[in-house]
A and B are shown apart, each in its own frame.
Chain A
């Protein structure tokens, strides 16, 4: 077994400045972590957010029968759209009855879906999002937060990075990657060959020179400014350092880097790139490059395409149909479910501690549109997979009464990550209106 943690621990030491949000995101330093409730201390943990657009109708995930009085899914049969999860339902926790009325989710809450605040098309983030916050508190990795976005082939090519879902603060969007060639170069350029290698080397050489030039122009600054400007120059140190650090663990990374094939350069369908992007995300998790992965299927907007599944319709129309029993939505949800299964199987294949990587992982599957494309957000169904090192209950359905917001779920994950918070992005004034409780969702925690 490869001792990833120890290997990477050595190379991350000394990394200081926060990368924030970027196409080469954080080499974040882990923020101080309160000894956590789970007693897990610095147990490596990771969280994956999978955000399917157009809404997540609860009827596409709620079993029609067999749910025990205690909410157990043991004797339930999962509905067709998520039947791929049937073998994993002991790890599944379906949550029905959260709300996001304050997020204005009709046509997507955009940043508000992961931020728990009002969002809309063209509205900048008003605060950081939960995935970014977790990336700061989870054990330090080379690249604490990675966002990937899946869309139509045209959009992924014309706009390979967009920012709709994640943010590191007010007005600070985090971009998601949609061109797997670019993402591969960033993660594995150092161990690549051919054109990717050349691009990587050219970019490396250029960044080195930029750093030199930037440093040279900081020489004559007054002391106060030198410190501030130093942050700028240090930033290049981070960028270049990330490359170097990734390079220095290249032997390790080779064990995880996906093989580059024709689907990278000549995809037949957009789903080819979706699959590859997921592979890259998984490889980043398995190799320990990152601990937080955000997957935007539909990139947080109201379009998206899945022609590779035989879905001829694309975009907005998909949100204008009822999802239950809809053949198109069954295909999309089944595709999502297969991706979730792949995530679990891959993480399960890597031993960690006395178990596997999946034992310390939480996958949060939901939609940036609550339950449907045109919605008030009064119900925001969520599926959790994994128990996060024993912190979350699993194998069950929890029906809530619609009075607690998605912010409460995010606060719960923060709690399980060792951060003592009662709320996430919700003032007391807003809570008086939108949250019937305070603190974590106890129903979810062990």
Chain B
């Protein structure tokens, strides 16, 4: 006999009516009802058989679960996840009707939102990681009778700009980026994103395009140049980073923005003169500086170590005009205000806004004089709401019968611009907005099509989507244990591995762009291409780890090569050594013979130099033979990748790349490239679980409930065992119900080590690369796979995988998770993609002309 919770007993007694009698369901509508009227019957019918006080499977007794409250919210969240994902009730039990399940899940979410409203809120269902909780089959298949969709819209909202967007806006104020070069389309040009520097930090650099000399080496350069780190933060490590509800701007960021704004304004006004200690540092002939004011001594790492040329390359703006003459007029000041306002918010100020900032700046000037006051006052524009948040409030226009208003004019124009770009609207788009030609679906299609067709209109947001989707840009941030890294065959010298990984991310970006240029079967191509964009040193990362036997042979070859390289000099050394020995003996016997002593010293020095030369020859010859890696042959055609301006002295951030083919049979598509593999690894080893989660969520559209807080999610520390062997702990019954969704999908990637090198052996045994696709939602995919390549080939053929890709694109461009009401938009987007032959452009146009993009639901 079940021992019922008092609340449950009372409720069961009172409850006589099925909460699910209603035969229609409209997604998004609040589910009216209480614990008594909604939850009890569902729990009793579908849960208590296994989770009561007698059975309590997984030590869970739902009889003790009362109405949603603060204390049981975590458990209710689990209940929601299990039900929404159709994990519970288990397949052997009778499943709830679809509408019954949806209503119950909605009710739980509604209750969690209500109860947690003043306790930090409940937002889990809004997280992109939970996007797949919406049933894929309902989105793309037939809807059961009774589900009534309503026309979709996104909520009216403001989006905080992303760190990348923000730093690109600031960069536009002080740096002139090169125009797009169709002959070298991979090179960074105006409108592209600001790449991270040599260490992976996103920074704004001042005046580096004019540096013609500095003193010291790489670190001295990095220290001497002026740079400021990006201010706005982004704390998400994986997946879609930029939903509107993720971020605000805190006061720390606001004060930093103000401080950096003054630096930017000074550079806008005076260029490198704002950076130098002496005006003579700005010259085309550095000798004139050397011969005039240059300070004595070691200047490495100091601003005075830098010489800038006289070529003015920064944009000359009304801020420059304002500051180049003494005094000021309202006209000049207003021009600077209006220029800055549009540069920072992407729209011109209205009269009131212009007046406000004019007044602030004048007040500052009155207090502290023109020089300081202008910079101080103008910096306030950097903190305007619309410089940091992009509004989509749809305040103009009349709501339709569903409470939706279509975006228009600047809001629509900037939404379209933001969908593709980080810099302000180009001339055509701006004209369209100003002239009232950004108000309809057709207007959007016209502008989006135009921008997509024009390569010179850079579209970094498209690339950003692929970074968020694949997460291939994280490899340089994965901190590797040096000893573990050394075993992979990758270099452990200094920061060379991390540099290689940042280079690899840029290379993968370029590969994605090349696939996008063709715009055919984009996803399939990315998953299965034989091509790779590589940089120097990638022959190791795309290489193969040698077996134990091959290492023995390689060592012998190395020794042979070293001997061969030093054969001749070794003979000379023998002769010289004999000569020195003889001279030493002679000198010992004739201690007063100064000439003899001199000759001896000379010969000793010759011998010393010869020994060093021999060591160098030996090292050089030995270095040619890699003892751990069979390097890949990566010849091909020249390419370029987008890298940062010089941030670490000579040799850093080289854009040169090669478009090549990967070794056949060893790799296939971007998921087998080092950038992706290392991004999904950890300090010591591969991360089969993360890789499996990625496949499950990003290709199969499956969801994985959060790890229960009672689980100590650690693998045993057993260096003598393979990762697969150590992962045996996840096959415990309690863990396996979740881990079967990830582990068998991640383990096929064991054909690579954790630096991304292909391998056939692991710990001197044949590496086991087997895996399985389980319960994918597409039965034709399910079944064992022998390795990652076989699995990828299967997945790339799947229509479901294509649809899941479309779902992720929807989330990225709409800034929210899809709901069932978005089903028509998703189906149409997929149709457009498929009909276009796997066209990303078609997919983007479809999404950006959808109701979900155009309409905002407004509050009454």
| In the complex, chain B residues whose CB is within 8 Å of the CB of A221 | 158, 393
Tell me whether B383 and A171 are in contact (CB under 8 A): no
In the complex with contacts A155-B302, A303-B223, A429-B683 CB distance below 8 A: yes
User: When chains A and B are docked, how far (Å) is the Cα of A124 from the Cα of B783?
Assistant: 43
User: When chains A and B are docked, how far (Å) is the Cα of A430 from the Cα of B684?
Assistant: 9
| In the complex, chain A residues whose CB is within 8 Å of the CB of B156 | 222, 225
User: When chains A and B are docked, how far (Å) is the Cα of A18 from the Cα of B233?
Assistant: 14
Tell me whether A172 and B233 are in contact (CB under 8 A): yes
Tell me whether B248 and A231 are in contact (CB under 8 A): yes
Tell me whether B226 and A159 are in contact (CB under 8 A): yes
| In the complex, chain B residues whose CB is within 8 Å of the CB of A120 | 199, 495, 498
Q: In the complex, how many angstroms separate the beta carbon of B578 from the nearest chain A beta carbon?
A: 38
Query: Within A107-147, which residues are at the interface with B (CB < 8 Å)?
Result: 107, 117-118, 120-124, 126
Asked if B235 is an interface residue, CB under 8 A from chain A, the answer is yes
| In the complex, chain A residues whose CB is within 8 Å of the CB of B388 | 232
Tell me whether A235 and B393 are in contact (CB under 8 A): no
Q: In the complex, how many angstroms separate the beta carbon of A245 from the nearest chain B beta carbon?
A: 14
Asked if B50 is an interface residue, CB under 8 A from chain A, the answer is no
Asked if A96 is an interface residue, CB under 8 A from chain B, the answer is no
- Pick the residue among B157, B300, B648 that contacts A225 (CB under 8 A): B157
Asked if B356 is an interface residue, CB under 8 A from chain A, the answer is yes
Tell me whether B275 and A158 are in contact (CB under 8 A): yes
* Interface of A, helix, strand, loop or mixed by DSSP: mixed
- Pick the residue among B157, B158, B220, B356 that contacts A316 (CB under 8 A): B220
Asked if B714 is an interface residue, CB under 8 A from chain A, the answer is yes
Q: Which one of B28-36, B130-138, B359-367, B595-603 contacts A?
A: B359-367
| In the complex, chain A residues whose CB is within 8 Å of the CB of B479 | 102, 117-118, 126
Tell me whether A123 and B393 are in contact (CB under 8 A): no
| In the complex, chain B residues whose CB is within 8 Å of the CB of A172 | 233, 235
- Pick the residue among A155, A220, A223, A316 that contacts B393 (CB under 8 A): A220
Provide a sorted-by-A list of 11 A–B residue pairs whose CB atoms are within 8 angstroms: A121-B198, A121-B199, A122-B198, A122-B203, A122-B222, A154-B303, A235-B253, A303-B300, A314-B298, A315-B298, A316-B219
Query: Within B241-284, which residues are at the interface with A (CB < 8 Å)?
Result: 244-245, 247-256, 259, 275-277
Tell me whether B255 and A239 are in contact (CB under 8 A): yes
Tell me whether A152 and B302 are in contact (CB under 8 A): yes
Tell me whether B683 and A228 are in contact (CB under 8 A): no
Tell me whether B251 and A239 are in contact (CB under 8 A): yes
Q: In the complex, how many angstroms separate the beta carbon of A107 from the nearest chain B beta carbon?
A: 6
Asked if A250 is an interface residue, CB under 8 A from chain B, the answer is no
Asked if A178 is an interface residue, CB under 8 A from chain B, the answer is no
- Pick the residue among A104, A171, A236, A315 that contacts B220 (CB under 8 A): A315
Tell me whether A154 and B376 are in contact (CB under 8 A): no
Asked if B327 is an interface residue, CB under 8 A from chain A, the answer is no
Q: In the complex, how many angstroms separate the beta carbon of A126 from the nearest chain B beta carbon?
A: 7
- Ordered nearest first, which 6 A-B pairs have the shortest CB separation? A122-B199, A235-B251, A20-B252, A303-B301, A202-B367, A22-B252
| In the complex, chain B residues whose CB is within 8 Å of the CB of A314 | 297-298, 301-302
Q: In the complex, how many angstroms separate the beta carbon of B414 from the nearest chain A beta carbon?
A: 15
Q: In the complex, how many angstroms separate the beta carbon of A263 from the nearest chain B beta carbon?
A: 19
Tell me whether B373 and A202 are in contact (CB under 8 A): yes
Asked if A79 is an interface residue, CB under 8 A from chain B, the answer is no
User: When chains A and B are docked, how far (Å) is the Cα of A30 from the Cα of B277?
Assistant: 42
Asked if B477 is an interface residue, CB under 8 A from chain A, the answer is yes
Q: In the complex, how many angstroms separate the beta carbon of A170 from the nearest chain B beta carbon?
A: 6
Q: Which residue of chain A has the shortest Cβ distance to B369 in the bound complex?
A: A198
User: When chains A and B are docked, how far (Å) is the Cα of A209 from the Cα of B376?
Assistant: 13
Tell me whether A171 and B372 are in contact (CB under 8 A): no
User: When chains A and B are docked, how far (Å) is the Cα of A221 from the Cα of B248?
Assistant: 14
Asked if B197 is an interface residue, CB under 8 A from chain A, the answer is yes
Tell me whether B372 and A199 are in contact (CB under 8 A): yes
Tell me whether A23 and B250 are in contact (CB under 8 A): no
In the complex with contacts A206-B360, A206-B364, A236-B233 CB distance below 8 A: no
User: When chains A and B are docked, how far (Å) is the Cα of A43 from the Cα of B588?
Assistant: 77
Q: In the complex, how many angstroms separate the beta carbon of A434 from the nearest chain B beta carbon?
A: 9
Query: Within B184-217, which residues are at the interface with A (CB < 8 Å)?
Result: 197-203, 216
User: When chains A and B are docked, how far (Å) is the Cα of A126 from the Cα of B395?
Assistant: 41
Asked if B64 is an interface residue, CB under 8 A from chain A, the answer is no
Query: Within A15-44, which residues are at the interface with B (CB < 8 Å)?
Result: 17-26
Tell me whether B233 and A202 are in contact (CB under 8 A): no
Query: Within B781-805, which residues are at the interface with A (CB < 8 Å)?
Result: none
Asked if A210 is an interface residue, CB under 8 A from chain B, the answer is yes
Q: Which residue of chain A has the shortest Cβ distance to B248 in the bound complex?
A: A231
- Pick the residue among A18, A104, A171, A198 that contacts B235 (CB under 8 A): A171
Asked if A439 is an interface residue, CB under 8 A from chain B, the answer is no
- Pick the residue among B157, B226, B383 that contacts A222 (CB under 8 A): B157
A: interface residue count bin:
35 or more
Q: In the complex, how many angstroms separate the beta carbon of A332 from the nearest chain B beta carbon?
A: 15
Query: Within A358-411, which residues are at the interface with B (CB < 8 Å)?
Result: none
Tell me whether A22 and B253 are in contact (CB under 8 A): yes
Give the number of chain B interface residues (Cβ < 8 Å).
82
Asked if B70 is an interface residue, CB under 8 A from chain A, the answer is no
Tell me whether B249 and A124 are in contact (CB under 8 A): no
Given contacts A124-B201, A235-B251, 14 further A-B contacts (CB under 8 A): A19-B255, A24-B255, A121-B219, A122-B203, A159-B226, A209-B360, A224-B245, A232-B389, A234-B251, A235-B254, A239-B251, A315-B216, A429-B682, A432-B717
Asked if B528 is an interface residue, CB under 8 A from chain A, the answer is no
Tell me whether A17 and B220 are in contact (CB under 8 A): no
Q: In the complex, how many angstroms separate the beta carbon of B122 from the nearest chain A beta carbon?
A: 12
Asked if B155 is an interface residue, CB under 8 A from chain A, the answer is yes
Q: Which residue of chain B has the shortest Cβ distance to A434 in the bound complex?
A: B481
- Pick the residue among A23, A123, A238 that contacts B259 (CB under 8 A): A23
Tell me whether B199 and A229 are in contact (CB under 8 A): no
Q: Which residue of chain B has the shortest Cβ distance to A208 in the bound complex?
A: B360
Asked if A168 is an interface residue, CB under 8 A from chain B, the answer is yes
User: When chains A and B are docked, how far (Å) is the Cα of A161 from the Cα of B304?
Assistant: 18
User: When chains A and B are docked, how far (Å) is the Cα of A350 from the Cα of B672?
Assistant: 64
- Pick the residue among B223, B277, B683 that contacts A302 (CB under 8 A): B223
Q: Which one of A82-90, A211-219, A276-284, A289-297 contacts B?
A: A211-219
Tell me whether B395 and A170 are in contact (CB under 8 A): no
Tell me whether A22 and B859 are in contact (CB under 8 A): no
| In the complex, chain B residues whose CB is within 8 Å of the CB of A168 | 252
Query: Within B531-566, which residues are at the interface with A (CB < 8 Å)?
Result: none
Asked if A175 is an interface residue, CB under 8 A from chain B, the answer is yes
User: When chains A and B are docked, how far (Å) is the Cα of A107 from the Cα of B197?
Assistant: 17
Tell me whether A313 and B158 are in contact (CB under 8 A): no
User: When chains A and B are docked, how far (Å) is the Cα of A172 from the Cα of B249?
Assistant: 12
| In the complex, chain B residues whose CB is within 8 Å of the CB of A312 | 297
In the complex with contacts A222-B156, A301-B301, A171-B233 CB distance below 8 A: yes
| In the complex, chain B residues whose CB is within 8 Å of the CB of A234 | 251
Tell me whether A315 and B300 are in contact (CB under 8 A): yes
| In the complex, chain A residues whose CB is within 8 Å of the CB of B199 | 120-124
Q: In the complex, how many angstroms separate the beta carbon of A271 from the nearest chain B beta carbon?
A: 16
Asked if B229 is an interface residue, CB under 8 A from chain A, the answer is yes
In the complex with contacts A17-B251, A22-B255, A316-B275 CB distance below 8 A: no
In the complex with contacts A124-B202, A222-B157, A235-B219 CB distance below 8 A: no
Q: Which residue of chain A has the shortest Cβ distance to B494 in the bound complex?
A: A106
User: When chains A and B are docked, how far (Å) is the Cα of A163 from the Cα of B157?
Assistant: 33
Q: Which residue of chain B has the shortest Cβ distance to A231 in the bound complex?
A: B248
User: When chains A and B are docked, how far (Å) is the Cα of A203 from the Cα of B202?
Assistant: 29
Asked if A100 is an interface residue, CB under 8 A from chain B, the answer is no
Q: Which residue of chain A has the shortest Cβ distance to B367 in the bound complex?
A: A202
Asked if A193 is an interface residue, CB under 8 A from chain B, the answer is no
Asked if B746 is an interface residue, CB under 8 A from chain A, the answer is no
Tell me whether A169 and B714 are in contact (CB under 8 A): no
Tell me whether B250 and A19 are in contact (CB under 8 A): yes
Tell me whether A20 and B251 are in contact (CB under 8 A): yes
Asked if A68 is an interface residue, CB under 8 A from chain B, the answer is no
Q: In the complex, how many angstroms separate the beta carbon of A229 from the nearest chain B beta carbon?
A: 6
In the complex with contacts A122-B198, A198-B368, A209-B380, A236-B373 CB distance below 8 A: no
Tell me whether B648 and A121 are in contact (CB under 8 A): yes
| In the complex, chain B residues whose CB is within 8 Å of the CB of A248 | none
| In the complex, chain A residues whose CB is within 8 Å of the CB of B363 | 202, 205-206, 209
User: When chains A and B are docked, how far (Å) is the Cα of A154 from the Cα of B155?
Assistant: 51
